Chains A and B, each alone.
Chain A
Amino acid sequence: DQQVKQNSPSLSVQEGRISILNCDYTNSMFDYFLWYKKYPAEGPTFLISISSIKDKNEDGRFTVFLNKSAKHLSLHIVPSQPGDSAVYFCAASAVGTYKYIFGTGTRLKVLA
Chain B
Amino acid sequence: ETGVTQTPRHLVMGMTNKKSLKCEQHLGHNAMYWYKQSAKKPLELMFVYNFKEQTENNSVPSRFSPECPNSSHLFLHLHTLQPEDSALYLCASSQESGIEAFFGQGTRLTVV
Which A positions have Cβ atoms within 8 angstroms of B?
2, 4, 31-32, 34, 36, 41-46, 49, 89, 91, 93-105
Judge whether A93 and B97 touch: CB under 8 Å. Answer: yes
B78 to chain A, nearest CB (A): 19
Q: Is the CB of A89 within 8 A of B105?
A: no
Q: Is the CB of A42 within 8 A of B106?
A: yes
B25 proximity list for chain A (CB < 8 A): none
* Majority DSSP secondary structure for residues of B touching A: strand
- A98's contact among B31, B42, B90, by CB below 8 Å, is which? B31
Quote the shortest CB–CB distance from A72 to chain B (angstroms). 17
- Known contacts: A45-B2, A89-B43. The answer to whether A100 contacts B106 by CB under 8 A is no
For A97, the chain B residues whose CB sits under 8 A away are 97-98
Residues of chain A within 8 A (CB-CB) of B55 are 98
